[in-house]
Structure 1
Amino acid sequence: MNQPAPRLVLIDGSSYLYRAFHALPPLTNDAGEPTGALFGVVNMLRATLKEQPTYVAFVVDAPGPTFRDELYPDYKANRPPMPDDLRAQVQPMCDIVEALGITILRIPGVEADDVIGTLALRAAEQGIDVTISTGDKDFAQLVRPGIALVNTMSGSRLDSEATVIDKFGVRPDQIIDLLALMGDAVDNIPGVDKCGPKTAAKWLGEYGTLDAVIANADQIKGKIGENLRAALPRLPLNRTLTTIRTDLELERAPTELALREPHADDLRVMYARYGFKQALKELEGGAGSSDSGDARGAGVRNTAAGYARAASAPAEPPHPELSAPGEYETVLTLDQLDAWITRLREADEFAFDTETDSLDPMQARLVGLSFAVEPGRAAYLPLGHDYPGVPAQLDRTETLAALAPLFADPGKKKLGQHGKYDLHVLRRNGMEIAGYADDTMLESFVYNATASRHDMDSLAKRYLGYDTIKYEQVAGKGAKAISFSQVAIDDATRYAAEDADVTLRLHRALSPRLLAEPGLERVYREIEMPLVPVLARIEANGVMIDGDELRRQSADLGRRMLAAQQKATEMAGRTFNLDSPKQLGQLLFDELKLPALVKTPSGAPSTNEEALEAIAEQHELPRVILEYRGLAKLRSTYTDKLPEMVNRDTGRVHTSYHQAGAATGRLASSDPNLQNIPIRTDDGRRIRQAFVAPPGRRIVACDYSQIELRIMAHLSEDAGLLRAFESGADIHRATAAEVFGKSMEEVSGNERRAAKAINFGLMYGMGAFGLARQLSIARGEAQDYIALYFSRYPGVRDFMERTRQQAREQGYVETVFGRRLYLENIQARNQGLRAGAERAAINAPMQGTAADIIKRAMITIDAWLAGQGNRALMVLQVHDELVFEVEEGFVDTLLAEVGARMSGAAQLRVPLVVDSGVGANWDEAH
């Protein structure tokens, strides 16, 4: 029996709030607060959640202008300001949505419609059934197999071409043109005067498209024909304004919108406050209290970046009865401080945590410290609370000086949760930390990377069965949120001391689990924990960038984007929106009659990068569109953004590295992400030219050569692959010679390219279909290539089958060093899910081993650098590459020492080769 497809519900929050406000009477609660719109939205949400969607998001408009305002300054100009009674219900609505466990999406620069459109198509392409919950007719343009519209207020549903035609008189793909002709009074988009939905549908029924209507405008008689001809100049813009974008670069994928556990305590308080008796009754008969993640989430639970400071008194917490699991003390006197220093010194180990006012560890101000020496016994030391009437706190400088020897003692074991953040904060306050021995985030990650999120709240729920105090319970949230420095010290103590206490309890729960798995314990002790201070030093070092150079590149990219737009317009013979997949699809496939070689799961022609590449040889326009998209992405992601991220104190860019991200162990970086800068394009290399060394210093880049292929040779023990690597030959040429039965000198460029595609493709589970597409050959020919490859390298075939079998039997695969990747879908009935798990099973040992190797190299290199003063700094890690900033006279020494340590980071059956380069900037160093 086939399993039902997962389902995503996308809720048009802005639409429902306005419609509920105008549809329902002006209700109020006992305190006189308006509740009508809120009541309508809550009922809609309850109805949605009863259907148990797999994924759900509540999408609302972000404040500020969007790209439509730039295109048309009068866009929505005639909308009245939001009524005060409605404005008062916006934040309560968001509070209830969050408490229900629903993700709220609010993306600046675009409208909620575009976010919904992008997520809907992306989910449908992944085989997820999508329901868009809205009353907005514009969304009818998105209806197709797998995407339906539901108006929860009226109960109507549009889920097929027939239902759209029945309602609007046109097909879904004609809705945009219908809206362009009609205009939209709400959005201040003037259409054809006197042209209503029936007239617009009639024209489209006769001519098919807006372009055809425009082309035949002279044929339409009477006053309405005159009105049409008068409106012709603005109709293309209308079409752009009414097109819902479906190609946004979003940080959240559809599968990251899983419905979280509701927070029943918060809902109980809010439902009672607003008089929602039926919802409260339903809640009391349903789920208990649990957590949906907060400022502690994703491992960073120390702070509250972006929360507004209160002007006067500390916030009144939503739950003044906050419970704590132990005895927590507030340290406000020197006697208390001395007593706690004695306790910490006498304890075998202690947990600690910092409280700050920012998520950025390079800028956060220390507000307080917490400690725990045994389960149930913890303290909070406030140092920076600054609200009126705050109790006297100990002097920051003297207090930290008294604590510094304890934290600097390598013999005193300290433990934390995502402690790298705390190491940064304390270092910036003059305290160097030694003896950081355990991190509960990393214990959980190594024990099972995929079993849970690794933030403290999720771990407390999973391993302790305990619901922690949430950040918003002490600091509020949304517009009413305050900085932690404004939180009343009593409330701060319950929250912060609990952090330390729960961290200690988690360590006591997780440590035995790791000790029971010696291979995992070694990964944790020998790789992940020693890497924490190494990454902290790399982040603190930062990297210097040339902001002026990036600004010049932004200007150049802008000019080239405009030129690409003009060139595309000339090729098309008319204007069209390059950012609209719909318009692009009509142009390429309907007008230019290019073949639709790549389809979406619903069978519609795709206009994604793969689809455009597939037809780029047949017409120049797809190549121009690809060029435009590439330029736009580089500009928005790097050249515009990086200069704004230079730290004012250091003059450098400081990325953050994440150990508990990818299940394979690969490091990720963020704020900014420096691991995705293109290396194979001239523009990507130009961006790397802006990563520079200061005067008297050079940039050195050291990169493992073909490390995953070498790991494949090691794991498979295939004699042919081992022989090729041991000889030092060009591995792809050697593979081609082996597969095609030629000498190395006889191998053609195409044969080498085919061998390279197979070499890399097999590591990622590529089959004949993928290889055929990559090499532009017939599928049968690609299958012959793969069969020939396996006949020459039987060890590779045996390794792949052995790995699949191991994954099926054990449920996991391992790296050379013992890291595990659990594969949830390896026994799935769904063939697609199972095949994906099998591909991951083959790739994970290679990618994970590569990650382990470079981490081991970083640890040994950092230890060597510690004795070299400031002559060399490790400033970046990017996949298989390490980047250094080095004194000119020390370059040769660094190359020799780093190369030896990288090559010696693992003993494989083939040598580890390191390619190195030196330059004034990162690009030159390649």
Structure 2
Amino acid sequence: MSRLVLIDGSSYLYRAFHALPPLSNPQGEPTGALFGVVNMLRATLKERPAYVAFVVDAPGKTFRDDLYDQYKANRPPMPDELRSQVEPMCRIVEALGISILRISGVEADDVIGTLALQGVARDLSVTISTGDKDFAQLVRPGIELVNTMTGSRMDSDAAVMEKFGVRADQIVDLLALMGDAVDNVPGVEKCGPKTAAKWLGEYQHLDGVIAAAPGMKGKIGENLRAALERLPLNRELVTIRTDVALESGPQDLPLRERNVEELRELYARYGFTQALKELEGSAGLAPSVASEAAPSLRGTAAGFARGGSDATPVADLDPSLSLPGEYETVLEPAQLQAWVERLQHADLVSFDTETDALDAMRARLVGISLAVEPGKAAYIPINHDYPGAPAQLPMQQVLDALRPVLEDPAKKKLGQHGKYDLHVLRRHGIDVRGYHDDTMLESFVLNSTATRHDMDSLAQRYLGYTTIKFEDVAGKGAKQISFSQVGIDEASRYAAEDADVTLRLHRALAPQLLALPSLDQVYREIEMPLVPVLASIEANGVQVDVAELRRQSQDLSTRMLAAQQKATELAGRSFNLDSPKQLQAVLFDELKLPALVKTPKGQPSTNEEALEAIAEQHELPRVILEYRGLAKLRSTYTDKLPEMVNADTGRVHTSYHQSGAATGRLSSSDPNLQNIPIRTDDGRRIRRAFVAPEGKLLLAADYSQIELRIMAHLSEDPGLVRAFEQGADVHRATAAEVFGRRLDEVTSNERRAAKAINFGLMYGMSAFGLARNLGIDRGQAQDYVALYFSRYPGVRDFMDRMREQAREQGYVETLFGRRLYLNDINARNQGLRAGAERAAINAPMQGTAADIIKRAMVDVDRWLQASAAPARMILQVHDELVFECEAGFIDELRTAVVLQMSQAAQLKVPLVVDTGHGQNWDEAH
């Protein structure tokens, strides 16, 4: 049967534009969306359809605008960077032999819908290539949907039901109930896909739901009844027409011969190297063309003028990296021995563990997967314990067989977020050495802002490969089962794929890092050496005083109750302080306070910013803020920390995340130690509960004003450098400069203003923000900033330089070469552009500070290991490291830690480390 492919061109273009970084060719022309479209088209044409059309929206209004004048009213205009890629896209589509259709008065969806039904009527097999959920309404025998970006297909009612919970013929009604924010079609308020699917499962169609509306209970019933008048219009707006009068039918859309000369010119101009190679085929690429095209998409600053190496084209990779793998389940000793021999002869071993829990400090090992070459992997099940599970090799036998390889420091290991696996294997008796590469960190270093760094996302982005998801084998929600209960056949496919895809990803990502030496250095010298250090810190954990935490919880509860009573008194009635709706009514309806901050839906906000904005006008907002602060401390720390004490170790073990912040800063979770307040008495009390065991002390070592010191180094401003070289109080020195006083004449208010300016400028604070911070008028704040820049002109020059660098190359760098890509730096939207400019100034300082403390952690850990010191690193928070040591070793530890931390970077100003020690963290700090 001949095939008709209908390509949703408008969807392709926007999806590619938003999915890929803003690439450009060496001439500076934007190419990101164009590149994505070309790759999707090449994938589509590999199957050689008989008929094909690239359908795009025509300019001007459609019949839907006549039905509803607010249709798509909220859509912003096409960005200039995208608009400039439309014309070359059309040239490439035409040169590929594909017809382009634009029909006035209707949307591309309607043209596709009409051609799809005409194709089925002519006994053609119809494929609609799109990522738009609306097209699910067209699925029927002979019509399938293919999402070229994810590789997923939808070709039956069963497939639609699995995806949306309704049949294909119910999709229109589902969309009518849900509405569509993108097209500005308001649905039933609070009615999401699950509610809509539930109604349609019960009442079959929209008319049935409308008929049942009077008896619907609860708030959702009220919302449904409020929307009844517009639901028929919604249905009309979301229905794809299939009766558009077209001058040509499917038979008029044959795939034509390619215009090779035109394609060669376009591919070379825009730097599509793999497309060029494919075009030339076995004849090879002419040397002159190859030399011009090759640099334009490889990992150099010129080639990726704005996009960064994370934009590696899927199509430029070894095709074998996106093919299905061959996987083996190891159940016999001979198989295990054969794999051990493979590992012994391999240059790099990719490994992954499967467990029965997410907490690495508690998880039980269920199996291990291994790979040494792309496309081939093994899974060794160990603890699958469901009824009828086949016999598995004893865990100790497996571990003993793998231990020599995994503990060999000369044998390179590879993982994806391997720190988790290091923990699991350590707890089961294997201390993995030689951990050499981690694909999560390769992706993160290449471009921290361009994508999620989980394996599923990376596989799709870099390999064009759709992985088996955990939910696919274990279920989801309340019905999700432990991995130990997953059938071994399914488990093998899932687990072996993890090791295999990790190896494939490394093959794709490693060359990009090598092509960018500064980033490769960040990866090799900072991120990878840090992995075992963080694993060690997490395993060490910290002791907490549970009794102290319970006392604090009781005190916080008492003060929360007092705040509730005070709020009731101020409001003149009782209300639920935790209910935004009730609070909204009290503040804005009854007390008539101004709503200075709005929610995205235009309602008065009650978030922290909104309450701070009106706190000077009435006492109640301040009481609410106090109540929330107390409640957060209790729920996040004093109540929760005792529950997080590990039963085996008696300590709390946080988890550190290297890829959690774009600037490179570490983040932590379970518990999140970065958010414990340090400027309030209550926050410091929390730190009191982190204690040293008997006979030991805690040592805290904290970089002093590190970001300001980095500002002095990067700006080379003589005044700022001089203040740090002289060891002066830099905020007092700044105040003396700005206000023209001697140091001993500076008042506390002047120092406070100087401190606000110093830190505010680093974070891009405007004169308006400074005025609000200091409680002065905007004009006075602007005068302060002007005075500051007149005394520290190097700082202004640095800020201007960073903005310009970001605009020119699309990224800024830390002192050590880490990049932060700023996709909005040239955006037309002023708010987006201003945010990117603030990041351009702050990221080099914050990122350099992150790099410095990471380097320090690696150096300190190396010293601890080499000296066999009776001490261990137990916490990292912002610019601070915390250690636990024998009481008699405290002075030696302090000396060594200060030395290692102060030498972690060579700045133009001293890198000062403050220390303290005590029985608890608060005393040490």
Q: What TM-score does the superposition give when structure 1 sets the normalisation length?
A: 0.68
Distance in 2 between residues matched to 1:562 and 1:754, nearest whole Å: 36
Shift of 1:685: 0.8
Distance in 1 between residues matched to 2:680 and 2:698, nearest whole Å: 20
Deviations 1:625-653 (A, max 9, x none): 22112111111111111111111111111
Distance in 2 between residues matched to 1:523 and 1:802, nearest whole Å: 23
Distance in 2 between residues matched to 1:538 and 1:150, nearest whole Å: 58
Query: Match of 1:806, SS?
Result: helix
Alignment of 1:862-873 (within 5 A): 862-869=861-868, 871-873=870-872
Aligned to 1:544: 543
Shift of 1:921: 0.8
152 and 641 in structure 1: CA distance in 2 versus 1, 3 angstrom threshold: farther
342 and 34 in structure 1: CA distance in 2 versus 1, 3 angstrom threshold: closer
Question: Aligned partner of 2:440: which letter?
Answer: M
Contact 1:385 1:485 in 2 (8 A): yes
Contact 2:553 2:638 in 1 (8 A): yes
Aligned to 1:515: 514
Contact 1:549 1:690 in 2 (8 A): yes
Query: Match of 2:467, SS?
Result: coil
Aligned to 2:825: 826
88 and 403 in structure 1: CA distance in 2 versus 1, 3 angstrom threshold: farther
Contact 2:459 2:505 in 1 (8 A): yes
Aligned to 2:725: 726
Query: Match of 1:362, SS?
Result: coil
Distance in 1 between residues matched to 2:487 and 2:588, nearest whole Å: 63
Q: Percent identity?
A: 72
Alignment of 1:776-815 (within 5 A): 776-815=775-814
Distance in 1 between residues matched to 2:554 and 2:343, nearest whole Å: 56
Alignment of 1:3-42 (within 5 A): 4=75
Question: Aligned partner of 2:700: which letter?
Answer: A
Contact 2:588 2:595 in 1 (8 A): yes
Shift of 1:682: 0.8
Aligned to 1:481: 480
Aligned to 2:136: none
883 and 155 in structure 1: CA distance in 2 versus 1, 3 angstrom threshold: farther
Question: Aligned partner of 2:407: which letter?
Answer: A
597 and 324 in structure 1: CA distance in 2 versus 1, 3 angstrom threshold: closer
Alignment of 1:12-411 (within 5 A): 43-47=172-176, 48=178, 52=182, 135-137=221-223, 325-411=324-410
Contact 1:698 1:885 in 2 (8 A): yes
Aligned to 1:414: 413
Contact 1:807 1:826 in 2 (8 A): yes
Aligned to 2:612: 613
Distance in 2 between residues matched to 1:87 and 1:362, nearest whole Å: 43
Query: Match of 1:520, SS?
Result: helix
Deviations 1:237-279 (A, max 9, x none): xxxxxxxxxxxxxxxxxxxxxxxxxxxxxxxxxxxxxxxxxxx
Distance in 1 between residues matched to 2:813 and 2:791, nearest whole Å: 26
Shift of 1:437: 0.3
Distance in 1 between residues matched to 2:866 and 2:459, nearest whole Å: 40
Contact 1:44 1:152 in 2 (8 A): no
Question: Aligned partner of 1:539: which letter?
Answer: E
Contact 1:699 1:918 in 2 (8 A): yes
792 and 156 in structure 1: CA distance in 2 versus 1, 3 angstrom threshold: same
Aligned to 1:637: 636
380 and 602 in structure 1: CA distance in 2 versus 1, 3 angstrom threshold: closer
Shift of 1:917: 0.9
Aligned to 1:461: 460
Shift of 1:904: 0.6
Unpaired stretches in structure 1, ≥5 consecutive residues = 7-28, 62-81, 91-111, 114-133, 141-148, 158-322
Aligned to 1:850: 849
Shift of 1:903: 0.7
Question: Aligned partner of 1:409: which letter?
Answer: D
Deviations 1:484-535 (A, max 9, x none): 2122222222211111111111111100000000000000000000000000
The answer to which of 713-722 and 581-590 deviates more is 581-590
Shift of 1:55: 14
Distance in 1 between residues matched to 2:379 and 2:183, nearest whole Å: 41
Contact 1:135 1:151 in 2 (8 A): no
Distance in 2 between residues matched to 1:55 and 1:920, nearest whole Å: 61
Query: Match of 1:867, SS?
Result: helix
Question: Aligned partner of 1:352: which letter?
Answer: F
Query: Match of 1:924, SS?
Result: helix
Contact 1:768 1:782 in 2 (8 A): yes
Aligned to 1:712: 711
Shift of 1:575: 2.4
Distance in 2 between residues matched to 1:500 and 1:846, nearest whole Å: 37
Distance in 1 between residues matched to 2:511 and 2:672, nearest whole Å: 35
Deviations 1:457-478 (A, max 9, x none): 1111111111112222222333
Aligned to 2:137: none
Aligned to 1:898: 897
Contact 2:538 2:654 in 1 (8 A): yes
Matched, 1:493 2:466: no
Question: Aligned partner of 1:4: which letter?
Answer: R
Contact 2:763 2:838 in 1 (8 A): yes
The answer to which of 729-738 and 640-649 deviates more is 640-649
355 and 601 in structure 1: CA distance in 2 versus 1, 3 angstrom threshold: closer
Shift of 1:611: 4.1
The answer to which of 432-441 and 597-606 deviates more is 597-606
Contact 1:326 1:377 in 2 (8 A): yes
The answer to which of 467-476 and 367-376 deviates more is 467-476
Aligned to 1:320: none
Shift of 1:573: 3.1
Aligned to 2:533: 534
Aligned to 1:67: none
Aligned to 2:696: 697
Aligned to 1:275: none
Distance in 1 between residues matched to 2:225 and 2:517, nearest whole Å: 55
Aligned to 1:224: none
Contact 2:445 2:523 in 1 (8 A): yes
Query: Match of 2:674, SS?
Result: coil
Question: Aligned partner of 1:490: which letter?
Answer: D
506 and 555 in structure 1: CA distance in 2 versus 1, 3 angstrom threshold: same
Query: Match of 1:415, SS?
Result: strand
Query: Match of 2:837, SS?
Result: helix
Aligned to 2:105: none
Deviations 1:151-184 (A, max 9, x none): 9856689xxxxxxxxxxxxxxxxxxxxxxxxxxx
Distance in 2 between residues matched to 1:890 and 1:415, nearest whole Å: 37
56 and 402 in structure 1: CA distance in 2 versus 1, 3 angstrom threshold: farther
Distance in 1 between residues matched to 2:858 and 2:602, nearest whole Å: 50
The answer to which of 621-630 and 717-726 deviates more is 621-630
Contact 2:74 2:184 in 1 (8 A): no
Q: What TM-score does the superposition give when structure 2 sets the normalisation length?
A: 0.68
Query: Match of 1:350, SS?
Result: strand
Distance in 2 between residues matched to 1:539 and 1:825, nearest whole Å: 36
Aligned to 2:759: 760
Deviations 1:313-344 (A, max 9, x none): xxxxxxxxxx9822222111221111111110
Aligned length: 669
Deviations 1:767-788 (A, max 9, x none): 1110011111110111111011
Distance in 2 between residues matched to 1:336 and 1:911, nearest whole Å: 59
Distance in 2 between residues matched to 1:588 and 1:356, nearest whole Å: 50
Distance in 2 between residues matched to 1:894 and 1:150, nearest whole Å: 72
Aligned to 1:745: 744
The answer to which of 52-61 and 714-723 deviates more is 52-61
Shift of 1:38: 5.2
Distance in 1 between residues matched to 2:845 and 2:690, nearest whole Å: 30
Question: Aligned partner of 2:561: which letter?
Answer: L
Distance in 1 between residues matched to 2:417 and 2:183, nearest whole Å: 32
The answer to which of 393-402 and 735-744 deviates more is 393-402
Distance in 2 between residues matched to 1:456 and 1:614, nearest whole Å: 42
Distance in 1 between residues matched to 2:753 and 2:608, nearest whole Å: 22
Aligned to 1:95: none
The CA RMSD measured in Å over matched residues stands at 3.5
Shift of 1:570: 2.2
Question: Aligned partner of 2:430: which letter?
Answer: M
Query: Match of 1:437, SS?
Result: strand
Shift of 1:449: 1.0
Query: Match of 2:431, SS?
Result: coil
Distance in 1 between residues matched to 2:717 and 2:347, nearest whole Å: 50
